[in-house]
Amino acid sequence: MSRFCVGIDVGGTTVKLGIFENNGQLMRKWEIPTRKEHNGCNILTDVAVSIRRTLDEMGIKFSEVGGAGMGVPGPVARSGYVPRCVNLGWGECYPARDLSLMLDGLPVLCANDANIAALGEMWQGGGKGYDDIVMITLGTGVGGGVVIDQKIVAGRHGLAGEIGHTHVRDDETEYCNCGSRGCLEQVASATGIVREAKLFMASSGKESALREFDEKTLTAKDVIDTAKAGDELAMEVVECVCYYLGRSLAQLALTIDPEIFVIGGGVSKAGQFLIDIIQKYYVQYETLSENRPLIGLAKLGNDAGIYGAARMVLD
Amino acid sequence: MSRFCVGIDVGGTTVKLGIFENNGQLMRKWEIPTRKEHNGCNILTDVAVSIRRTLDEMGIKFSEVGGAGMGVPGPVARSGYVPRCVNLGWGECYPARDLSLMLDGLPVLCANDANIAALGEMWQGGGKGYDDIVMITLGTGVGGGVVIDQKIVAGRHGLAGEIGHTHVRDDETEYCNCGSRGCLEQVASATGIVREAKLFMASSGKESALREFDEKTLTAKDVIDTAKAGDELAMEVVECVCYYLGRSLAQLALTIDPEIFVIGGGVSKAGQFLIDIIQKYYVQYETLSENRPLIGLAKLGNDAGIYGAARMVLD
């Protein structure tokens, strides 16, 4: 009988790893650097060696481990096929199959990193106790993950959960990294919030504490903290950001209707202050029923990925 | 061994019924009137009597029938609980349980009518051969249904697939039936297309064959046929409608990423002409990958509901 499972979250700078008990208890977590040189050909070997060494140190036998789940920063087909992972230097590959070969045939599953973060939050984080959740990660970009019936909805072309690139704004003049214009990410990511603040400062004559910051180092946290402190212009920026977020959540409620939305990423550290303003706009755009998905905060921070990766292999 | 299944689609005017072989072959279909008087208390009895009589006529024994599926025009919880069905006069009820009691304990399942139509198109219609589809029905309103892994995504509050009420238009001044403003239904339903045509005629000085129609009886078909015939103003209306539809499909692709979108309802009779224009805008708003869901036409017309209802009981 297996008692343990392994969670792996491969990022562009570090690989996060965790050994879990099947009940969700994190036994040990650690990180190793992501060696991207030579098209990232050492990444999986490093992961395999590190897992073997750690299990050994912990006195856990391979026969006690049910499997390992792995999140990677790119699209993953159901077959485990990865067309490319730009941030890791990988071209076409089957990372789960390859890692399994390096771990004596241990079952390994692979999925997109934003999707496993959603699964992690469902298992032991802000979505604990719910089967259907949508996670929105407000970081440098805006990521998303959809979980229905405790399973990741990966989509057929690796596009599921790419909520940051849904169109929200008709009058957007700049292009998003994805090549489109008016994406949610352009207004609601940390980068987007700073850009928005600069636009508001440029177009408004209002006095504002925001103007005392160096524009070059202004952060989303500065903008939100200034709004929390009662600054009128900063508040207008936050209202604008939350308007688009609330509207997007309403669209998601009217499409897949999860039990709860879980908001994560650096921006979500603003906490209930942010949720309350998002909620105000959300209810304006979901008027079919007062019985609608909840909005909550993520709880696992950067560990969501290893939790979700480990959870994948428990089905 | 059961060989047959029954599909029931309860509408506000008629109940459609069908007896299917388990392989998807429709053996017989018929309709009975929906008796809405006395809070619709006769509807299920009428359905039960009619099914018994038809099976008898066809020489099919109850033991040969695996179950019956039923679509109803309103939200249905996973438990089978229906909070209300305004169009049928029903308040709180458990229609599947009640019908099962009237059919000697035959297994009966119940779901929302738009959702079963999507399942029907997946089984034997425009989505045949695919496991993940999203159906959009362009009729008096705009309905939707989401099917993932051959299963209806009903949502936790009965809101899933309510794509017609997702927000698409910021500058909308009129309210939608749902109480919100700028819903997809306001521009892309048959009613919406006619309204749009009137707005275009009022605001444009252009000559147009549309102006020869009586405004009181103008239909969406008139508008689309006039556009097909090369009328410039009518074409502008169709472009506007398809712009919002294409953008909505892109949002859905970036959320759940099905294999195919299936467009149904009266408006979809405009066929490939409409699909081509929707496609043009769709690809503008889904720029992450050229590998994206297909867009196709529904094939089962008004029978989609009985097909999907019957399909429900085959799992």
Q: Which of A76, A147, A152, A157 best probes binding to B when mutated, by most B CB atoms within 10 angstroms? A: A157
Residues A115-170: pLDDT tens digits? 999 999 999 999 999 999 999 999 989 999 999 999 999 898 888 999 999 999 98
Q: Tokens 């045939």 appear where? A: A105
User: Does residue B188 share a domain with residue B93?
Assistant: no
Q: Which residues of B touch A250 (CB under 8 A)?
A: 166-167
Question: How many Å apart are CA B246 and CA A163, to the nearest integer?
Answer: 16
Q: What is the CATH number of the domain that holds B196?
A: 3.30.420.40
User: Does residue A224 share a domain with residue A169?
Assistant: yes
Chain A, chain B: beta-carbon pairs less than 8 Å apart:
135
- Region B117-146 average pLDDT: 96
* Interchain contact A148–B (C-beta under 8 A): yes
Helices B190-203, B220-228: axis angle to 10 degrees equals 60
User: Does residue A206 share a domain with residue A91?
Assistant: no
User: Does residue B148 share a domain with residue B75?
Assistant: no
Amino acid in position B218: L
Token pair in block for residue B9: 């689609």
User: Does residue B164 share a domain with residue B47?
Assistant: no
* Interchain contact B181–A (C-beta under 8 A): no
User: Does residue B307 share a domain with residue B294?
Assistant: no
Q: Which of the four pLDDT bands, split at 50, 70 and 90, describes residue B79?
A: confident
The beta-carbon neighbor of A254 closest among B163, B247, B286 is B163
Q: Which of A115, A152, A156 best probes binding to B when mutated, by most B CB atoms within 10 angstroms? A: A156
Residues B8-34: pLDDT tens digits? 999 989 999 999 999 999 999 999 999
**Mind telling me how many Å the CA of A134 is from chain B's nearest CA?**
10
Question: How many Å apart are CA A34 and CA A46, to the nearest integer?
Answer: 9
The torsion angles phi and psi of B76, rounded to 5 degrees, stand at -130, 125
* Interchain contact B98–A (C-beta under 8 A): no
CA angle A291, B140, B149 (to 5 degrees): 60
Position A86 scores a pLDDT of 83
* Interchain contact A121–B (C-beta under 8 A): no
- State whether A258 and B155 contact (CB < 8 Å): yes
Adjacency order of strands within the sheet including A151-152: A151-152, A142-148, A133-138, A260-264, A294-297
User: Does residue A172 share a domain with residue A48?
Assistant: no
User: Does residue B261 share a domain with residue B165?
Assistant: yes
- Region B70-84 average pLDDT: 87
User: Does residue B42 share a domain with residue B110?
Assistant: yes
Q: Which of the four pLDDT bands, split at 50, 70 and 90, describes residue B75?
A: confident
DSSP symbol at A172 = -
Q: Which of the four pLDDT bands, split at 50, 70 and 90, describes residue A78?
A: confident
Q: Which residues of B touch A163 (CB under 8 A)?
A: 254-255
User: Does residue A281 share a domain with residue A137?
Assistant: yes
* Interchain contact B7–A (C-beta under 8 A): no
Residues A18-45: pLDDT tens digits? 999 999 999 999 999 999 999 999 999 9
The beta-carbon neighbor of A167 closest among B158, B180, B250 is B250
**Mind telling me how many Å the CA of B195 is from chain A's nearest CA?**
22
Q: Which residues of B touch A247 (CB under 8 A)?
A: 167
Question: What long-range pairs does A87-96 form, CB within 8 A, spacing at least 24?
Answer: A87/A11, A87/A12, A87/A36, A88/A10, A88/A12, A88/A34, A88/A36, A88/A40, A88/A43, A89/A36, A89/A37, A89/A38, A89/A39, A89/A40, A90/A39, A90/A40, A90/A43, A91/A39, A95/A44, A95/A70, A96/A70
User: Does residue B238 share a domain with residue B99?
Assistant: no
Q: What is the ipTM of this complex?
A: 0.91
Question: How many Å apart are CA B175 and CA B75, to the nearest integer?
Answer: 22
Position B97 scores a pLDDT of 96
Position B65 scores a pLDDT of 97
User: Does residue A142 share a domain with residue A120?
Assistant: no
- Region B152-175 average pLDDT: 92
Residue of B nearest to A78 (CA): B149
Residues B50-65: pLDDT tens digits? 999 999 999 999 999 9
* Interchain contact B157–A (C-beta under 8 A): yes
Q: Work out the number of other CB atoms within 10 angstroms of the CB of residue A273.
A: 13
- State whether A167 and B285 contact (CB < 8 Å): yes
Run of H or E including A31: strand A26-33
Q: Which of the four pLDDT bands, split at 50, 70 and 90, describes residue B103?
A: very high
- Region A98-125 average pLDDT: 96
Residue of A nearest to B176 (CA): A287
**Percentage of residues of chain A with pLDDT beyond 90:** 87
Q: What domain range is B97 assigned to?
A: 4-124+303-312
State the burial class of residue A205 (Cβ atoms within 10 Å of its Cβ: 0-12, 13-18, 19+): exposed
How many domains, in total, are found in chain B? 2
Asked whether residue B42 carries a pLDDT value surpassing 90, the answer given is: yes
Strands A108-112 and A65-72: parallel
